[in-house]
Amino acid sequence: MNSSRKVLVVIPCKNEEDSVETTLRSLLQQEKCTLEVLLVDDGSTDATAEIVQRLAAHHDNLDYASTAFNKQRESGAGIAKVVQYGLSTVELNKFDYIAKYDADLEFPQGYMDACLQEFERDEVLGLVGGNCSVQNSDGTWIPEKVTNDDHVRGALKMYRIQAFKDIGGIVAATGWDTIDEHKLRFKKWTFRSIPGLYVKQFRETNAATDPKKMGRKIGLSLYNMRYNWLVVLVSIAKRAFVGNSKLPFLAMMRGYVSGYINKKPRFLTKEESKIANGYRMSEYYRKLGLK
């Protein structure tokens, strides 16, 4: 395989002293690509900075940057803002691929090569990623089922550079990790998660730890994406009443309505939202056996 494949990995991070070294070492051991890792520390108050700087002293392809955007660790828009800052400090044209990964993951050997092979097999593939597994009470690692199979988790996004540029990068908004996929779809790029390719995730998502907070964020993300009322109601009902990770119906509705009340901006154009709404409706019909 071609070791000249140039990949930039940006890792937003806050107070991850328990996992960040494992994450970085598992990435730095990846082969068959030229890898540069930039960890952007968003004002950690633990030993995160010391750990990363110690590793960086021994790895020329690991860089450390520091910000102070969020007083508390925040997902969604807060994370995206940290990533945007990191990207603003590098020359993107040096790279063929850009990845955004979380700092609480352990990547298996060969993970990066598996993703790159997907890109090389499909010239219109703009985004790819693996899947997350979490540790069960008996110590085994099991898939974390919190998203649909047609979605690449925000923790594991890897973009072809041209596709990333075509959509204007990622936006600092709640729901950024779905907004990017709708924009890719509008620009005729495809994306996929790779079945059977798992990373270990050391912290469960907010859907499991804080359902009300996650519910409000889900609702606001539906507003941000200009979903029509039918798509909104079906999406909220599905999350509230179907599957294992049920979220509070009213929390999601409050999140959605808050966008209108506070006159928040939206992050898909009307033309992009037509594609987004059409795709969601077609998926609902397909699952009902009507398509």
Three-state DSSP at 25 gives helix
Mean pLDDT of the 236-252 span: 86
pLDDT digits (tens, 9 = 90+) for 5-26: 999 999 999 999 999 999 999 9
Place of tokens 């037509």: 274
* Claim to verify: residue 169 and residue 215 sit in the same structural domain: no
What's the domain range around 235? 207-287
| Mean per-residue pLDDT of the chain | 93
* Claim to verify: residue 192 and residue 230 sit in the same structural domain: no
CA dist 152 to 31, 156, 209, 246, Å?
22, 7, 21, 20
* Claim to verify: residue 80 and residue 198 sit in the same structural domain: yes
Contact call for residues 63 and 38 (beta carbons, < 8 A): yes
Domain-terminating residue out of 157, 185, 204: 204
Provide the domain count of the chain.
Answer: 2
To the question of pTM greater than 0.85 for the whole model, the response is yes
Please determine, for residue 207, whether its predicted confidence score (pLDDT) is greater than 60: no
Domain-terminating residue out of 204, 235, 253: 204
Confidence of residue 1 (pLDDT cuts 50, 70, 90): very low
Domain-terminating residue out of 170, 204, 238: 204
Please determine, for residue 37, whether its predicted confidence score (pLDDT) is greater than 60: yes
In a domain, 1, yes or no: no
Confidence of residue 75 (pLDDT cuts 50, 70, 90): low
